[in-house]
Structure 1
Amino acid sequence: MALALAGSAWAANSTYHNPILPGWHSDPSCVQVEGTFYCVTSTFISFPGLPIYASRDLLNWKHVSHVWNREAQLPGYSWATAGQQNGMYAATIRHRDGVFYVICEYLGVANKDAGVIFTTTNPLDDASWSNAVTFPAPKIDPDLFWDDNGQAYVATQGVQLQAIDTTTGEVSEPAIPLWNGTGGVWPEGPHIYHRQHGNESYYYLMIAEGGTAEDHSITIARSRNLTGPYTAFENNPILTNRGTNEYFQTVGHGDLFQDTKGNWWGVALATRSGPEFVSYPMGRETVLYPATWNVDVNGGWPVLQPVRGEMEGWELPEPTRDVPGTGPFVDDPDVYDFGEEKGVGKKGKEGEIPRNLVYWRVPKKGAVSVVKGKGLRLVPGRTSLSGEPGGSDPASKAISFIGRRQTDSLFTYSVDLDFDPKKDGQEAGVTAFLTQMSNIQLGLANVDGELSFRFNVSGKVKTKAVPKKWKNKTVRLEIKLAEPGTEYTFSASLADGSKDDKVTLGTGSVKLLSGGSGSFVGTLIGVYATCNGAGKGPECPSETPDAYFTRWRYTGNGQYISAEELIPSVFTRPN
């Protein structure tokens, strides 16, 4: 079988750990340009969307930009998106003649589903990403491929092919069917590669099939002509963990690329769930595997090394964090002192929102900002995290929330809060958030006229009065996930460091934030503010106080790479 050849296809020169992009980083696509690797992943309804990560060693990844970072790039879509897992589906990143292209589909807006193409000559700069060129996209997961004559083509779920003008979005009709996979459900995520083997020239079509859960896999076919017919590899799938007891499950939706030495690598999504597939709060993460094309051993078909927590493969580039652009590395802790004169700490500047923080849909104008001397300001929204009461105004879908991906199996997160709620329903706090239907909240709230802690586990609420000596003081709220990584613990203390006053307000199982209403996404850790339906339209009553957050800290405390093996959160940190 093809997978059995993996260990003999290359010398074991390097060892490293998966995932390389921990936390919610699904559907990865990558390219290498002049020694720097660039990857993009899915973001669905979150905003800014389509993060670009850059690395020079394949292990240290800096978050250098978001492709979709301004509502004006695709106006009117975000607030019109109702579904929790709609939005920016799987993207492909490619580079040609000095231009970076990211092609994607935005899904879930009635009568407005659209393929989108963004371009830039500088992927290190948010502002340089273009407005979207839209094209008709009845299918998801577009790939972008240029033939030798310079004609661009888009391949989408199904799998079907159309010529495309990348400057206008015009596509050829009808679409040409290429290959429907090996019989697994949802043949999707196509990528086309043109390879020369001696005198043999083939177009390879690599796809995902079997759905994105336990049966997920990567399969491949090839043809001497771009438009087919395509012949399936007899030993498909070329990559999967289905039917195994491996800790990394759902392996699929891959892309292939080369390093500067000509070695081939691949990325895919995977879930750290084990075969039980019930506890995986970080959702689908990005893993790296070596690949080889060996004519003598495998007839010119690619061999992909099976995904594990510890990997061996090609000699990796020298480890370095000397990566161009600004932004945090994916495994950096958060040390954000919002509102201080000197800025938000070493990860950002005064007035800026750190790049690794995201919203759930585009926020209302002015809903989130950094105010000198006060902190990260959240203007409470009438709509709560659960989406209630909503309303007919499109802005009512926006919630006052900002968070970062949970990127560690074990972590500690804390933030200081100044908030003085005067009326029932006024609330601000911290949350472990999967979707608006699945989240855990700890808020400081006015409950029946009394300042209280309000702990909410997916709609099950309990309250506890705030100690009288805490009133009018800054409160520190904490979320912690400790060994064995099965329950979030929510607690509160005074921000002045009075440890003896720390109180635990509740716990919630990671199973609550695994799959269910968010099988495509992953847990975000962050803050929120709401008046829980008071007011009219999308607005809270004018007397509703703003919430100010300072001293934002997130620290990874460990990564599981198997059900039993825990390693430090920082996978690779060069001297």
Structure 2
Amino acid sequence: MKLSFGLPLALLAGAIASPLASLGNSTFYNPVLPGWHSDPSCIQVKGTFFCAISTFISFPGIPIYASKDLINWKLVSHVWNRESQLPGVSASTVGQQDGMYAPTIRYRNGEFYVICEYLGLPDGIIGVVFKTRDPFNEKSWSDPVTFKPTNIDPDLFWDDDGKVYSATHGILLQELNLETGELSQPPINIWNGTGGVWPEGPHIHKKDGWYYLLIAEGGTERDHSITIARSRKITGPYEANPSNPILTNRGTDEYFQTVGHGDLFQDTNGKWWGMCLATRTGPEFEVFPMGREAVLFSARWDKGEWPVLDPVRGEMSGWPLPPTSRDVPGDGPFNADPDVYDFPLGKAIPRNLVYWRVPRANAISVTAKGLQIVPSRNNLTGTPESLVTPELTGQKGLAFIGRRQTDTLFTFTTDVSFSPRVVGQEAGVTLFLTQFNHIDLGIVLLAPDASTSKGNAKPQLSLRFRTIGTIESPEPTIIPVPVSWGSGQIRLEIQTANATHYNVAAMPAANPNARIILGTASARLVSGGRGSFVGSLVGAYATCNGAGTGLDCSAGGNAYFKRWRYTGAAQYISATEIVPEL
């Protein structure tokens, strides 16, 4: 089914689902959480659904999305929202895909718990358990109780006798003291899966006298899957479902690939649903700039039987959805909504804008001139993982802020005020996957070209398009800022040319008709590469490209951003279908 009216995907799904739900089933579109939303773990509490998501080294970390209807998801808080909750860990993390891996969210006795693990530290993995009574209040998330696991992807399960267990990759089971972080020793190996690599992402559910163990197998690419086993005792032995895997798209030509790492939960009518990750790429596995996204499916779980999960597709049918509703508390945005941000003084930075690692204090703030970005010495690439120039690695924070690309087709623009004083100072917009994979359009002060200019030539304010990636990059484009544009704000733009390429353009904010396209870049530059676990962010940055000393640039070079606009145009739900139809 394709529609031809201009609504966000979430609203389209709701428009379809409500009438069909009254007839006994519903139709909706995946992904329900488009953009980089990997490893979803979800619950339902008093009619509201909550999901927690992996964030790796981006900050704030572990977003909590809430929904009344399973389609419209509001970003209500981040669990790791203060550097003081885990002081120093971000700056100590070297890898681009380290950080917060695979949270599990659970609810018990009026409290929400999120268990997760932080990877990539010199002393190994840190396990963390956060809790709150109000997930709509970001500041209410606690400092974590920490523990020392040996394996990744922790689950959190309370047994009927009150004992608390955590299962991890392997699959290992340990009791966990939620007050002290103490783990029982030694870990018990309760299941090895069905033979696929990386048995991980475990979730234990107790139902009808059985302990059901849901896991991911096959690695998080094309062989990914969900399998399940059960036992009468939590410690095993576990017997595998003869129909494993119970969910996968491996070995198919489906548009949604990498299906796996999921969680199961019930609605208020007792119907079972699941969320897992998937990648919109098709079997070619070449173009997937949004990375691993969160998809929804129905499940049938009869008494004493194995759960049966609906296969993941772009257009889905399933149980009746709850009535369409955007009546969700909190002040965060819905994931499918556009950005319309002007950054007035006194307003907080919108919750869906995130950083690559914890930023330096006061590096990014709202001022009377708009969103101020104080430049970092390291540019968006810097010298990641370097022991020779640690001050340029970005581990102390990039001067960058962005939001997830949440649509196959979109337009992003922002107006920049920038008066650089020193050669190399730059401000711009970027489509950013990691420090090894990004597409940039900057306003930069460049030294005069010695081969074409006279000795008294002045530095030239220029527009520069350049990329870095793990495939061949297009040649950079540099042109002087046209004199006719004057000294006013410059509007920078990133727009999808189609599902596989981006155009970058610049124009005077006062005269958008003077738009200049600087270049076109393939989405393959920000698909996989050194960022196979993450997805693209689109946003703004400032840098002095290595000038200065220590972490500090020379004086000047602050950039101010206003009229920040992100507008989604359409989503691909298969290789040939888009919604809304254009």
Residue 397 of structure 2 corresponds to residue 384 of structure 1: no
Q: Count the aligned residue pairs.
A: 540
Report what 2:450 is aligned to.
none
Cα distance, 1:545 vs. partner? Answer: 2.2
Report what 1:488 is aligned to.
502
Using the alignment, how far apart are the partners of 2:371 and 2:331 within structure 1?
Answer: 21
Using the alignment, how far apart are the partners of 1:421 and 1:358 within structure 2?
Answer: 25
Report what 1:251 is aligned to.
259
Unaligned segments of structure 1, at least 5 residues: 1-10, 344-349, 571-575
Report what 2:533 is aligned to.
520
Cα distance, 1:470 vs. partner? Answer: 2.1
C-alpha spacing 1:388/1:471, structure 2 compared with 1 (3 Å): farther
SS in 1 for 2:269: coil
SS in 2 for 1:433: strand
SS in 2 for 1:127: helix
Cα distance, 1:501 vs. partner? Answer: 1.1
Using the alignment, how far apart are the partners of 1:539 and 1:312 within structure 2?
Answer: 55
| Alignment RMSD (CA, Å) | 1.5
Report what 1:347 is aligned to.
none
Residue 160 of structure 2 corresponds to residue 145 of structure 1: no
Confirm or deny: 8 A CA contact 1:556 1:569 kept in the other structure.
no
Residue 123 of structure 2 corresponds to residue 111 of structure 1: yes
SS in 2 for 1:516: coil
Confirm or deny: 8 A CA contact 1:364 1:395 kept in the other structure.
no
TM-score between the two structures when normalised by the length of structure 1: 0.92
Residue 462 of structure 2 corresponds to residue 464 of structure 1: no
Q: Deviations over 1:61-112 (max 9, x none)?
A: 1100000000000111001111000000000000000010000000001114
Report what 1:185 is aligned to.
197
Using the alignment, how far apart are the partners of 1:210 and 1:395 within structure 2?
Answer: 33
Unaligned segments of structure 2, at least 5 residues: 1-22, 448-458
SS in 1 for 2:234: coil
Cα distance, 1:521 vs. partner? Answer: 0.1
Which letter does structure 1 place at the counterpart of 2:563?
Answer: R
Using the alignment, how far apart are the partners of 1:569 and 1:414 within structure 2?
Answer: 23
Cα distance, 1:338 vs. partner? Answer: 1.6
Cα distance, 1:21 vs. partner? Answer: 0.4
Using the alignment, how far apart are the partners of 1:523 and 1:40 within structure 2?
Answer: 19
C-alpha spacing 1:143/1:569, structure 2 compared with 1 (3 Å): farther
Confirm or deny: 8 A CA contact 1:383 1:398 kept in the other structure.
no
Confirm or deny: 8 A CA contact 2:291 2:536 kept in the other structure.
yes
Report what 1:205 is aligned to.
213
Report what 2:462 is aligned to.
452
Using the alignment, how far apart are the partners of 2:489 and 2:124 within structure 1?
Answer: 45
Confirm or deny: 8 A CA contact 1:48 1:358 kept in the other structure.
yes
Report what 1:72 is aligned to.
84
Which residues in structure 2 correspond to 1:332-371 (within 5 Å)?
332-339=337-344, 350-371=346-367
Using the alignment, how far apart are the partners of 1:395 and 1:486 within structure 2?
Answer: 29
Q: Which moved more, 1:264-273 or 1:130-139?
A: 130-139
Residue 85 of structure 2 corresponds to residue 89 of structure 1: no
Using the alignment, how far apart are the partners of 1:90 and 1:534 within structure 2?
Answer: 38
Residue 491 of structure 2 corresponds to residue 476 of structure 1: yes
Q: Deviations over 1:325-356 (max 9, x none)?
A: 111000000000123xxx6xxxxxx3311000
C-alpha spacing 1:420/1:545, structure 2 compared with 1 (3 Å): same
Report what 1:41 is aligned to.
53
Using the alignment, how far apart are the partners of 1:487 and 1:528 within structure 2?
Answer: 21
Using the alignment, how far apart are the partners of 2:394 and 2:434 within structure 1?
Answer: 18
C-alpha spacing 1:569/1:381, structure 2 compared with 1 (3 Å): farther
Which residues in structure 2 correspond to 1:504-543 (within 5 Å)?
504-541=517-554, 543=555
Report what 2:401 is aligned to.
402
Which letter does structure 2 place at the counterpart of 1:494?
Answer: P
Report what 1:4 is aligned to.
none
Cα distance, 1:294 vs. partner? Answer: 2.4
SS in 2 for 1:143: coil
Cα distance, 1:569 vs. partner? Answer: 9.7
Which letter does structure 2 place at the counterpart of 1:517?
Answer: R
Using the alignment, how far apart are the partners of 2:231 and 2:353 within structure 1?
Answer: 43
Using the alignment, how far apart are the partners of 1:149 and 1:328 within structure 2?
Answer: 40
Which residues in structure 2 correspond to 1:17-28 (within 5 Å)?
17-28=29-40
Residue 325 of structure 2 corresponds to residue 310 of structure 1: no
Which residues in structure 2 correspond to 1:542-557 (within 5 Å)?
543-557=555-569
Confirm or deny: 8 A CA contact 2:145 2:178 kept in the other structure.
yes
SS in 1 for 2:91: helix
Confirm or deny: 8 A CA contact 1:143 1:190 kept in the other structure.
yes
Confirm or deny: 8 A CA contact 2:41 2:103 kept in the other structure.
yes
SS in 1 for 2:484: helix
Q: Deviations over 1:118-175 (max 9, x none)?
A: 0000000110000111101121100000000111100000000000011111110000
Using the alignment, how far apart are the partners of 1:392 and 1:16 within structure 2?
Answer: 48
Using the alignment, how far apart are the partners of 1:569 and 1:252 within structure 2?
Answer: 28
TM-score between the two structures when normalised by the length of structure 2: 0.91
C-alpha spacing 1:150/1:280, structure 2 compared with 1 (3 Å): same
Confirm or deny: 8 A CA contact 2:92 2:395 kept in the other structure.
no
Which letter does structure 2 place at the counterpart of 1:523?
Answer: S
Q: Which moved more, 1:12-21 or 1:78-87?
A: 12-21
Residue 370 of structure 2 corresponds to residue 375 of structure 1: yes
Report what 1:5 is aligned to.
none
Report what 2:228 is aligned to.
220
Report what 1:442 is aligned to.
441
Confirm or deny: 8 A CA contact 1:280 1:515 kept in the other structure.
yes
Which letter does structure 1 place at the counterpart of 2:480?
Answer: A
Confirm or deny: 8 A CA contact 1:387 1:397 kept in the other structure.
no
Q: Deviations over 1:473-511 (max 9, x none)?
A: 10000000133x111100000101x23311001111001
Confirm or deny: 8 A CA contact 1:160 1:177 kept in the other structure.
yes
Identity over aligned residues, as a percent? 61
Match of 2:144 among 126, 129, 132: 132
State the 4+ residue runs in structure 1 displaced beyond 4 angstroms: 393-396
